[in-house]
Every structure is written in structure tokens, then in C-alpha cells.
Amino acid sequence: GVHCSVLSTENHHSSFAIGQKFQLDDVIEAQQFDRDILSAIFQVAREMEEIEKNSPGSQVLKGYLMATLFYEPSTRTRLSFESAMKRLGGEVLTTENAREFSSAAKGETLEDTIRTVEGYSDIIVMRHFEGGAAKRAAATAGIPVINAGDGPGQHPTQALLDVYTIEREIGRLDGIRVGLVGDLANGRTVRSLAYLLSKYQDVKIYFVSPEVVKMKDDIKDYLKSKGVKWEESVDLMEVASKCDVVYQTRIQKERFGERIDLYEEARGKYIVDRNVLGAMQKHAVVMHPLPRLDEITVEVDGDPRAAYFRQAKNGLYIRMALLKLLLVGW
Amino acid sequence: GVHCSVLSTENHHSSFAIGQKFQLDDVIEAQQFDRDILSAIFQVAREMEEIEKNSPGSQVLKGYLMATLFYEPSTRTRLSFESAMKRLGGEVLTTENAREFSSAAKGETLEDTIRTVEGYSDIIVMRHFEGGAAKRAAATAGIPVINAGDGPGQHPTQALLDVYTIEREIGRLDGIRVGLVGDLANGRTVRSLAYLLSKYQDVKIYFVSPEVVKMKDDIKDYLKSKGVKWEESVDLMEVASKCDVVYQTRIQKERFGERIDLYEEARGKYIVDRNVLGAMQKHAVVMHPLPRLDEITVEVDGDPRAAYFRQAKNGLYIRMALLKLLLVGW
Amino acid sequence: GVHCSVLSTENHHSSFAIGQKFQLDDVIEAQQFDRDILSAIFQVAREMEEIEKNSPGSQVLKGYLMATLFYEPSTRTRLSFESAMKRLGGEVLTTENAREFSSAAKGETLEDTIRTVEGYSDIIVMRHFEGGAAKRAAATAGIPVINAGDGPGQHPTQALLDVYTIEREIGRLDGIRVGLVGDLANGRTVRSLAYLLSKYQDVKIYFVSPEVVKMKDDIKDYLKSKGVKWEESVDLMEVASKCDVVYQTRIQKERFGERIDLYEEARGKYIVDRNVLGAMQKHAVVMHPLPRLDEITVEVDGDPRAAYFRQAKNGLYIRMALLKLLLVGW
């Protein structure tokens, strides 16, 4: 079942010591993580970066079997998890199109599917089209479940890799200045990121988005309640000059339905290009959850501050860390 | 090619001794198995249940490659075979959608496809939409072929896991009382099960089904010729009280075509619920080949006599046993 | 990036010695290979034929991860590469349907996809529907890329396995007589083969094809410029009697559009059957890139000169050789 971590701050060293059990049974939502466990997970992710081919570390999950149960296709996320498992010596059972296997096809419930698949594997990574599906799966399964995105709901490993990337690129999380740009209304990525950033001190967030896809009030209120400063702006250049991180996102056409005119207007409004780079500080970086269309121009790619492909790679290390922690502990 | 076992009863010990060659070249249909070889296979399956991660037993198929050639999707069966192969240290080549690879797409014959795939792998597990396809594949291939279901034809590993489950749950097969419930006309599962049960002594089978999907005469005649007692009943409660096994099946909507009214009538007729459980004996169990819709209510799941998820898991052990036997022998 | 081999002929022994780096960074097109490197690659392929299960040679790619990025399905080619990787102890990340992952779905460029996937794997095998896609991928990737067919463009591993098969079957390449039969206008296979054969001495090629799918002038002119003799013929029996290799190909229906009549006429024109076999010399062989329809009758299959399934198997050894060479060198 879902297990929300309750960690006493005094004994982190022993809680996270090698050989200890991981505090979570499943990874379902960003809310499960506090800054202490994040810090410990990031430490493991950093060790994952150092693992060499055919070293003992590369065999830590030998004999374990991961089932990737994807009810909607997401090749990027699936490959990242499968690469993570195999980099640690584990094996994978793949279902790119689990929908055929499910209620949609013959009327089987998600719970029954999970009870069958848990008989064949040691951990389930699930992508689903319905919010809350991951929680239901975790409540049923006797083995760990990782949520790889459930509809409009959560995608916690993306949130973790974003925060990990900021720490790796900038060197700290307290005192960070982040500009969230683009589709702030529909993007679960930026919403989860705002949520996790609230765990750090003296954070400032700038929202830069077309009018139709502005950040919603629930997140704004949440940040306020946690003492996180935020500000809305229509001036990307000015925000870029102040931030440590410019986090650009894709305007999602599918959210606009018939209103192609609104989509086209929103899409062209805030582009990260050479000019934006020029306004940014030397130590600052550009991030993006990918895939990108033209909201970051390709001329930016060659700049060392373009961090989005390193960010994608960090997803590998975060997922290696989580698989290792859930299956064999600290 | 297909090889039907002809076993002399006097020398089982030596025939099934460790290191001996398996008696079958391929697994195509339930008719290939007699009670002696079933008993020996079940013994191997039981050993498979005990294999621990990274033990020598978990590496018995290291270096072997299985091709899952599925001309129609069946994620449940595919995952079960792939898990079995990987639990024994083997590797897998997957085709979820071999139909594109076949005559349907460019006009290649099944025989040509098999001749190509046998060059890439050590064993072929095939699911096909045409009855008899597995036999044709086995006749062509120089490597073992396992039939994972061929259209309206056979699905022998399902039949084996059903019998294995009865033995594991009840402790014996001679003298068993089994109630077959639901769609007895179209379900290849119950037909194969009736066939295999006829190999045991003093078996009694009860048929409980809606009028439109009654057990056909060929199986009834076959059972009679083998001295198996059977009885038709419309009273599920009474049958449940007498049986060791209540084997429920799904009414298959797709068999009713336009006659949704007949489907709805048949579907609601015999449900295994708390009341049926109440009538059952303490040692008896409920089985189901899965997926289930509402022909077993979820309130039954928590009862220790609900054996259907254990049954699904037994499929893993039976398939591990068959892969091991076909590739490296007893 | 694409690296075209420039080999000085004097120091082959040292260039191809065990432990040396492979001369190519990627395998994109047949033009990258000269006869010296082909000869050295074929030597490695021959060693691949001898590798036994669980021998040290079967573990030479242990710890390496190959991503099969297929933008159009080609199960035959995909399974061949995946089998090759696994036969050498490597692991595989599969995408049967990368098109969903690409610009076609959300508008991501091929270059962005490659930058992501190279973070998850050690080598990329790509099939694409657009000519030139493999070159673009190789120019982006920091890891090796193998072209597994890019639209109307190249399919270099097929060309290599064809030449390898001729050498294995006939024992030499200089002085060879090859009849290319069937669709010579559209088949990239025969075009690449003609190209590679021009690297050998005293080669003679016969073109036998229906009028509508004759070999195009560019290849004819190329062969002439390289001193390769060629001849067009309408008499398959006579050509068969002179050749070492009868290379038959499928008439591709999809190239004829509405003109089914022209397709049917072309299709029935040149069939390799018992009569053609009868005209062939004892040492000669029949080859075909597969799949075949009825352009070679099944009665030919049993003749030892029917080399097409051995040819398919040779694809495995060539791909094992290339994977080994690109990842760990000579």
C-alpha cells in the first residue's frame, strides 16, 4: 500500500544508512518526499552516475524483474526506466500497450491485472490514463509500484529529476530563483516542481505564461502558505536576468481543442532564444521536460547553459536510485 | 516435428531421471500428455516454486533465447512465458504483433517466418489466430515450439496449469469432484480440462451452464467412453456443496454476435458470490482462467478458497518447467 | 558523426589486429566499406558462427545496451539485431513503434529524440521511413548508430550479409557471376549489392527483370565506370545456367499503385522453380532477401542450393560482428 514517509529529523544518518530498508513502499506522488529523504535519494543518484560497466554496482538488481505496465504509450519514460533497470543488472517485462490487457478490452479491473502481474515480477512501473490509478495499483499490489504518470495526476519521478537537476547544475536548492515559463495551467510538471521547491528555504518563483494558460490559484495559495515568494511577469527577458533556472515548457496543443487561434497565439509568445540566453546570468541554466517543439530554438542547444538533455539523462540516475531503494534498500 | 509421447509404464524412474531427454519435442496439444508425464512435469514445477533469486537453479537457461511470436495480443500469456524464461536466466525476443510480420502483411507463409525465426532463437512460443498453426510451425521448426493458444484450437499450458492447481490445492486428482460453470460451449479451457481430468480415476464432473452455452456432446461422449461420470445441473448451490473445485468461466460476449439479449441473460445466470462460498466445503476452492468480469464477485477474493490468482501464478511454474524440460531435459 | 573509412592498404594486419579500434564510428551506407575492411569483417562474422553458449565469446558485450529505434515496423530485421546483441551478452531496449515517440506525434525532431536515447544506451539501431535519417542521427549522436534501413535509402547490413553469403556459399568473390532477378528498379537490396560487387575483380552481373522494373541507368553507368561487366537478359534459364548466384527478389506490389494489371504481369514473369534449378550448375545457389511470396516455389526449398534461409541466418553473424566491432573494436 501507499506509505507516506514520516521521518524524525534527528536520526537521518541511521535511517538512511547502508542496509536499512527504504522508507517508502511505493512511489506514487511528489507529496511523499520531504527534503531529508530527497537529499538522501539524490546522494544515491549521484553514486549511480559513477557506476561502471560490469562493476559490482552494475549488478545490484541481478535476479530482479520489473514489469513496465504502460496503459498509454510514453516511449521516453519507458526507455528511461528500462535502461535504469538494466544498468543495475535487472530484467524487464514490457507492455507498451497494456490497454488491450485491461478493462478497456475485456472488462478486467485494474486490480485484477495488478494481482496477475505481481505474480510475474518484483516491481511494477505503471503509466495510466486515469488520475489515481497508481494509488489503486499500489493499494492492491504486494510488490512496489512506481507511478510513471497517471493521466492529469502525478508524475513523481519527473518532479524528482527536475529538483535533482537544479541541485546538480546550480549547486544548491535553498535560495534558488526559478522562472517557470509556458503552459503553467496544464503542465503537471511545473505544478509538481512548484510543490517540491516549497520544501526549500528562501525560494522565489516567477511565473511567465500566456494569459490563457496561467498558473492556477491552488498552487499560488499553496506556495503562499509555505512562505514561498512568487511573482507573475509578462517580461521573459527581465525574469531571465534574475533567475538561476529558466524552466521552459511546451504549450500543449491538445488542450486547446478547436481554438487553434488561441493555441497559435500562446505558442509564439515566450520563446527561449539567443536573446534570452544573452540576458541570463553566467551560472544560470535552461531546463525543459522534453519533448520540445520550437519554444527553445536550436541555437540555444550549443550553449553550456542548455541543461535539458543533461536533465533527461538525470532521469536515468533518479530512476536507478528509486529502483535500487525500493528493491534492496539503502 | 510434433512428437506424441508413448511411454511404457514400467520404467518411469529412468525415463524421467535427471539428465534424461524430455519425451516431447514440442508442446502443441493437451493430448500429448498422459498421467505419468503430467506427474513428472508437476514435480519439476514444484521445484520451480522453490528457486531463489541468484541461486544456481535460476541460471539453468542462461545463454538460451526464446522468441515470443504472437500473431494476436495476449499480454497475460506473453508476460507469463517471458517471466518464466527470465526467472531461469534465459533471454527473450518479443513480437507483440507478429501479424505485421506475416502473410497478412506481405504474403509470407507461416513456414517461412518460422524458418527465419528459428535462426535467431532456441525456442519459439507462438500464439496464432488459426487453429492448427502451432502444429504447422512445429512441423517446420528444427527447434522446440510451444503453442500459447491457436485460435479455437488448443492452449495446452493453460490446461496443464489448471490440473497442476487442482493437485496443489486439493492434494490429489483421483476421486476429484469438479463443477465446470459458465460458458462450456465455447471455452477451450474447460474442454481441455475435461479432457485431461479423464486420465484420472473416479472423477466426477458437474456441468452448470446457461442453456445457450451448454457443454457439447463430443466431450460428453468422450468422458463416457473413458468411464468419467458427469451430470448436468441447473443448481449451482447444490453443485458447489458437493465439489472439490468450482471452476468458473467468463461468458464470452463476442460469441453472441447481435444477440446481446441472450448474452445478458446468460451472463447473469450463475455468479459465484458469498452465498456460493457459503455452500462450499471448507477444503474446496474456486478457480477461474482469468480475466474475470463479474461472474465471481470481488467479495469472494478475500476468502482463502479463492484460488484464481494462485492459479495464474502456477502458470509461471508450469511454463518454467516446460521451458527447462524442452531446452535441457529432466 | 559519420566517418568514412580511408584505409591505407599497406598496414591491414595492424589496422585490423585484435584490440585495435574499429575504423568506422557508425554504419550508415554500403559506400563506407572497401574490400579490405569487408574481408576483415567477414573474418569476424565467421568467428561469430563458432561462438558457443556460455563461452567467454558469448559475453563480449556484457554490460552494453542497444536501443532499437524503429520508426516503421520490420520484425525480421529487429529480431535479427536483438538476437545478435543478446548472443553476445548485451541487453536491448526496444521500440517497435518509435513514430509515436517522434515528430509525427508531438513534433519533436529526430535530433532531439537521438539526444535523449543516447543518454539511455550505448548504441542505436535505427529504422526510419525517410532517406537520410540515419546520417542525421549519426551526425547528432555521440554513440554509434547503425542504419537498419532508411526509407528508399540504404540498408547496409543487408548488403553486407548478401556479400558474406556469396563468399560463404561459393568460396570467393572475385570472378563471380551473379544473376539479379525481379524488381531491379525499386529494390534497394539489389542496388546495394551491385554497388558492393563492383569492389571485386572480374565480376559479371546479369539483369533479368520485367520491363517495368528494369535496373536503372545510374547503377549501370556506375558498374561500367568500375569495369564490371553486365548484361540484360530476358532468358532466366540461360542466365541460371551461367551464374554462380541467382539472386531473386520480390516484385513489390506497393510500387505499382493502381496498376494492378502491370503488377500481376511483372509478378508472374520470372519464377525460380524446379526447371530453373535444373538449369543451374551444381555449385551455384539461389538467394533471396526475404520475405518471398511465390517468386521462388516451395519445391526449391529442399534443394541444397536453396541458400536463402542460410542467408537470413548470416544476417545474425554479420550483425554480431558489427555490434562487436563498433562497441569494443577488433
Mean pLDDT of the C258-278 span: 90
pLDDT class for B2, splitting at 50, 70, 90?
very low
- Catalytic pick from A155, A188, A292, A324? A155
**In chain B, % of residues over pLDDT 90:** 76
C320 HSE (CA, 13 A, CB side): 26
A77 assigned to active site: yes
- Specify the range with the lowest mean pLDDT, choosing from A314-328, B102-116, C257-271: B102-116
Closest partner residue to B94 among A94, A108, A112, by Cβ?
A94
The whole-number pLDDT of residue C96 equals 78
pLDDT of A7 above 70: no
| Chain B residue numbers touching A108 (CB-CB < 8 A) | 290-293
Cβ C291–B112 below 8 Å, yes or no?
A: yes
Pairwise CB contact (< 8 Å): B121 & C293: no
pLDDT band for position A173 (cuts 50, 70, 90): very high
* Neighboring chain A residues of B250 at a CB cutoff of 8 Å: 106
Instruction: Read off the pLDDT of each residue in A138-150 and give the average, rounded to a whole number.
Output: 96
Residue C69: all three cell numbers together: 529505434
Which candidate, C170, C250, C236, places its Cα nearest to that of C207? C236
Kindly report the nearest CA distance between residue B64 and chain A, in angstroms: 15
More confident residue, B33 or C265: B33
Question: Lowest mean pLDDT: which of A94-98, C50-54, C287-291?
Answer: A94-98
Q: What is the spatial order of strands in the sheet that B65-70 belongs to?
A: B91-95, B65-70, B123-128, B145-150
This complex has an ipTM of 0.93
The predicted pLDDT at position B33 comes to 95
**Top-confidence residue, A14 or A112:** A112
Average pLDDT over residues B234-251: 96
Tens digits of residue pLDDT in B147-159: 999 987 789 999 9
pLDDT tens digits along A59-91: 999 999 999 999 888 888 999 999 999 999 999
Q: Which residues pair with C68 in a beta bridge?
A: C94, C125
**Chains in contact with chain B (at least 3 beta-carbon pairs closer than 8 A):** A, C
Residues of B with CB under 8 A from a CB of A: 53-54, 58, 73, 75-76, 79-80, 82-83, 86-87, 94, 96, 250, 290-293, 298, 309, 312-313, 316
pLDDT for A104 equals: 52
Least Cα separation, residue A4 to chain C (angstroms)? 30
pLDDT band (50, 70, 90) for residue B4: very low
Q: What does residue C18 show for φ and ψ, rounded to 5 degrees?
A: -55, 135
Mutate to test the interface with A, among B48, B79, B311 (most CBs of A within 10 A): B79
Partners of B292 on chain A (C-beta within 8 Å) are 108, 112
3-state DSSP assignment of residue C259? coil
Whether C3 is a known active-site residue: answer: no
* C contact chains, 3+ CB pairs < 8 A: A, B
Q: Residue A105's pLDDT is what?
A: 66
User: Which three cell numbers, joined as nine digits, stand for C175?
Assistant: 570472378
Which of A85, A112, A117 to mutate: most B Cβ within 10 Å? A112
For chain A, the chains sharing at least 3 beta-carbon pairs closer than 8 angstroms are B, C
- Do A292 and C117 lie within an 8 Å CB cutoff? no
Give the pLDDT of residue B158.
95
Q: Which residues contact C260 (CB under 8 A, 6 or more apart)?
A: none
Q: Report whether pLDDT(B103) > 50.
A: no
Q: 10 Å Cβ neighbour count for A132?
A: 14
Interface test with A, best of C82, C88, C91 (most A CBs within 10 A): C91
- Classified as helix, coil or strand, A316 is helix
pLDDT at B101: 55
Alpha helices in C91-214 (DSSP H): 103-106, 110-117, 133-140, 156-170, 188-197
Helix (H) or strand (E) holding A49: helix A35-49
Cβ–Cβ below 8 Å for B83 and A98: no
**In angstroms, what separates the C-alpha of B53 from chain C's closest C-alpha?**
19
Nearest CA in chain A to C111: A298
Query: With 90 as the cut, is the pLDDT of residue A198 above it?
Result: yes
| pLDDT the model gives residue C6 | 45
Is the predicted pLDDT of residue C263 greater than 90, yes or no?
no
C183-236 confidence digits (pLDDT tens): 998 878 888 899 899 999 999 999 999 988 899 999 999 999 999 999 999 999
Contact C322, C146 (CB under 8 A): yes
Assess whether pLDDT exceeds 50 at residue B146.
Answer: yes
Exposed, middle or buried by CB within 10 Å (0-12, 13-18, 19+), for C235? exposed
B113: which chain C residues are within 8 Å (Cβ-Cβ)? 291
Name the active-site residue from A78, A127, A188, A288.
A127
How confident is the prediction for chain A on average, in pLDDT? 91
Nearest CB neighbour to B93, from listed C54, C82, C298: C82
CB contact under 8 A, B73 and A97: yes
Give me chain B's average pLDDT, please. 91
So what's the pLDDT on residue C254?
Answer: 76
How many other C-beta atoms can be found within 10 angstroms of the C-beta atom of residue A229?
12
Question: What are the pLDDT digits (tens) for B182-224?
Answer: 999 887 888 889 989 999 999 999 999 998 889 999 999 999 9
Residues in chain C: 330
Closest residue, chain C, to A253 (C-alpha)? C106
Tell me the chain C residues in contact with residue A87 when contact means C-beta distances shorter than 8 Å: 65
CB contact under 8 A, B75 and A101: yes
Q: What is the mean pLDDT of residues B132-153?
A: 94
Pick from B73, B298, B313: CB nearest A100: B73
Residue C14 pLDDT: 79
Residues in chain A within 8 Å Cβ distance of C66? none
Find chain B residues with C-beta within 8 A of C82's C-beta: 93
**Residues of chain B contacting residue A86, judged by C-beta atoms under 8 Å apart:** none
Q: Which long-range CB contacts under 8 A does B107-111 form with residues at least 24 apart?
A: B107/C291, B107/C293, B108/C290, B108/C291, B108/C292, B108/C293, B110/B136, B110/B137, B110/B140, B111/B136, B111/B137, B111/B140, B111/C298
Q: Establish whether C77 is a catalytic residue.
A: yes
Residues of C in Cβ contact (< 8 Å) with A79: 67, 93, 95, 117, 120-121
User: Are the beta carbons of C112 and A54 separated by less than 8 Å?
Assistant: no
CA A262 to chain centroid, in Å, comes to 28
The residue-averaged pLDDT of A8-13 equals 53
User: Is the Cβ pair B312, A119 closer than 8 Å?
Assistant: yes
Percent of chain C with pLDDT over 70: 94
Which of B62, B65, B115 lies nearest to residue C83, judging by beta carbons? B65
Residue contact C108–A291, C-beta within 8 A:
yes
Residue C13 predicted with pLDDT over 60: yes
DSSP class of residue B275 equals H
Nearest to C166 by CA among C185, C193, C188: C193
Band the pLDDT of C154: cuts 50, 70, 90: confident
> Which residue of chain A comes nearest to C104, CA vs CA?
A293
Size of interface A-B (CB pairs under 8 A): 57
Of residues A276 and A8, which shows the higher confidence score?
A276
Whether the per-residue pLDDT at B100 is higher than 80: the answer is no
CA angle in degrees (0–180, nearest 5) for A305-A311-A314: 135
Give residue C261's pLDDT.
86
